[in-house]
Amino acid sequence: MANKKPYQASAGAKNYALPADLAPMPEAGQGMPPQLTPQQQAALAQKAKEFLDSIKNKAEDFQKEITTKFKKETVGLILLPPRPVQACLKCGSNTVKVLDEFKGHCTTCNSDFNTLDMLILMQFEGANLEEKFKKKDEADVKIKEIAQKKLPQINVSSVLLDEIWDMCFKGKYDILNLLTMGVILYDTGMVGALKASEIHKRMVLQKFEKYVVTYAIGGSLVKGRATKESDIDTFVVIDDTDVTRMTGAELISKLRAIILGMASESGFAAGVGNKMNVQIYVLTDMWNNIKTANPVIFTLLRDGIPLYDRGMFAPWKLLLKQGKITPTPEAVDMYMKSGRQMVDRTKFTLRNIAMEDFFWATLTPAQGALMLMGVPPPDPKETPAMMREYLVKSGLLEEKYVKILEDILQLRKDFEHGKIKDIDAKTIGEYMDSTEKFLSRLDKLMVQIETQEVKKELKQLNEKLIDDMSAALKMLDVKFNSDDVVKQFEKNVIAKKLAHSKYLELIERIVALHKEGKGDRREIASLAFEQERLAKDVFEHIRAEKGKKVEKYKISAHYSENKKADIWLLTDSAFIVMDTAKADTTIKKFTVDKDGCLVKEAASNLKELNAVVEKFAGTPTTLTKATIDSLKKILAENVKLVIGA
């Protein structure tokens, strides 16, 4: 390795010069690589692309053969921008002339030479550089043989990743510039990631060059293992020594938003989908991290490669390698204590999982299951008993799952009362298994309850539909039986325009769902609402058609001292609103016997009264002496009946 020279192939960064008409812009600062204007880059890319299109088939054959022979070692193939004709590559004479854009001729040695280069980026496994270079030299022989057959019009050479990293450490970044401008023919992910990093670096330097100390890469990228899915780990160190108007934290916060925004733009510009992870440090913090042996910084210095450096990174890396960067006693003590702190934090986390996470993970779904059964969410300690009452007794749930909930509730209680102070990971695992089983069973229970409730709601909806259709037919004095109620309703109500035509569609849908025994609860609720509305309209239409107002079946009664009651005589039943002046008055329900006497007193409410009145068919009720005697007993002897009030 001692005799090995830094990489200086025909496409080498050190001696590579751009054509005069594509000269780079002036350098932006010390160590800044030459940059091309967008127009210059576009012109170079276009020329390379046109040439590549002309030799597409040959280039593809070359790529396949190279990546087959050196599958593990080949990282990428890049067609570099055309190089200017300055001197003969064979004799070094400057007596050259241009034959075309990609070929020159030397008049001294009378030979032609190519001006277009292809670079093969390679990575060999080996214990040391000498072994890697030996393998590379052996590969070069085969590569040149293949190139001479497949692509004689292009200069093909290879370069190790180690050589590129060596150039970066020596401040020779031109090779990165070439890779950025080149056309990628094959890439395992390394070239695209490196291109994105280089573009991002340029954007950062253009905006903050005065303050950027180091821009470095790390992770799988520097190890040559980056793929098209790998993260791109980059580190930016900013000089904050002359920043006086804000703290280091504020500076990092402001820079982070800008630099992270540039990261997404650079990935798009490079045409890669890799996520770019950017770590931003200010110089003072960086130095403190070095002194205190921060593991992240040690890893960065040990493995990182500077794509830009103002003379700080390389010395740091060398000092680390020489063992001259050592942690302070305080840093050693802090790191020693951190282990115990992490264990204590783990214990606290396990305790919190046991007390809170398992508690809420089981209690809330259990309450949800009860709510689905129509039970209001109970208190935590009452939940197991409620589950036994409504779920276990009905055969929907097994007792062992209620026991799981009880055990978890007891665990939380024991922690709260100090009976248990810590819990080990094994016990947490056991509770985790129990919780998983509990939740899996409750998922199935939810389906069971949902199915049961759907059937129940469909049954109620269908019964309500039949009741409403029956009431409407009774109001029209139509004879029917349970088997032909739908047919008679369609014939005597819908066909006579006493109901909206879409009522029939609603009836058919409800009957079909009830027959099937399953449906969506939201649809069922919507159907119930619509059925209620349409039924109410039907009753009003029928009454209007028959000239029967419900109010005519109501009698007002005055009794006692200025009390007023409303009496509804509805054929075989009667309702009495005891005191109309009170909002919370008592409402009583009676059965009207064959003599007109009000019997079988029962408590009622306004909802029940409205439901009966709404469907009332309008059959007259005979007011007899027995009826009046009943009213005297219920209200008062001095009751006075007022008709039409």
Which tens digits make up the pLDDT trace of 192-249?
A: 999 999 999 999 999 888 889 999 999 888 888 888 888 999 999 988 887 767 776 7
pLDDT score for 28: 33
The answer to the question of residue 217 being in a domain is yes
Domain end call among 135, 164, 187: 187
How would residue 25 be classed by pLDDT, with cut points 50, 70 and 90? Answer: very low
The CB density around residue 476, as the number of other CB atoms within 10 Å, is 19
The answer to the question of residue 207 being in a domain is yes
Domain end call among 520, 546, 572: 546
Instruction: Tally helices (H) and strands (E) across the chain.
Output: 20, 17
Q: What is d(CA 546, CA 549) in angstroms, rounded to the nearest whole number?
A: 9
- Model-level pTM? 0.51
Q: What is d(CA 521, CA 372) in angstroms, rounded to the nearest whole number?
A: 12
Task: Tell me, yes or no, whether 489 and 376 share the same domain.
Answer: no
Between vectors from CA 211 to CA 269 and to CA 196, what angle results, nearest 5°?
A: 15
Which tens digits make up the pLDDT trace of 467-495?
A: 888 888 888 888 888 888 888 888 888 88
The answer to the question of residue 42 being in a domain is yes
pLDDT score for 32: 36
- The least confident of 100-109, 291-300, 440-449 is 100-109
Q: Which two tokens stand for residue 115?
A: 């001006």
CATH number where 287 lies: 3.30.460.10
Task: Tell me, yes or no, whether 567 and 515 share the same domain.
Answer: no
Which tens digits make up the pLDDT trace of 495-540?
A: 888 888 888 889 999 999 998 888 888 899 999 999 888 888 888 8
Task: Tell me, yes or no, whether 159 and 72 share the same domain.
Answer: yes
Q: Which two tokens stand for residue 420?
A: 């248990």
Task: Tell me, yes or no, whether 274 and 317 share the same domain.
Answer: yes
- The least confident of 19-23, 57-61, 116-120, 474-478 is 19-23
> 25 exposed, middle or buried (CB, 10 Å; 0-12, 13-18, 19+)?
exposed
Q: Which two tokens stand for residue 599?
A: 């019997």
Task: Tell me, yes or no, whether 26 and 172 share the same domain.
Answer: yes
Task: Tell me, yes or no, whether 175 and 266 share the same domain.
Answer: no
pLDDT at 1 over 60: no
pLDDT score for 364: 93
How would residue 5 be classed by pLDDT, with cut points 50, 70 and 90? Answer: very low
Task: Tell me, yes or no, whether 46 and 152 share the same domain.
Answer: yes
Domain that residue 222 falls in: 188-327
Range of 100-104, 290-294, 382-386, 451-455 with top mean pLDDT: 382-386
Task: Tell me, yes or no, whether 520 and 536 share the same domain.
Answer: yes
Q: Hey, what amino acid is at 361?
A: A
Output the CA–CA distances (angstroms, integers) from residue 598 to 158, 160, 645, in the order listed. Answer: 110, 107, 22
Q: What is d(CA 507, CA 512) in angstroms, rounded to the nearest whole number?
A: 9
Task: Tell me, yes or no, whether 571 and 499 share the same domain.
Answer: no
Rounded percentage of the chain residues whose pLDDT exceeds 70 = 84
pLDDT at 21 over 50: no
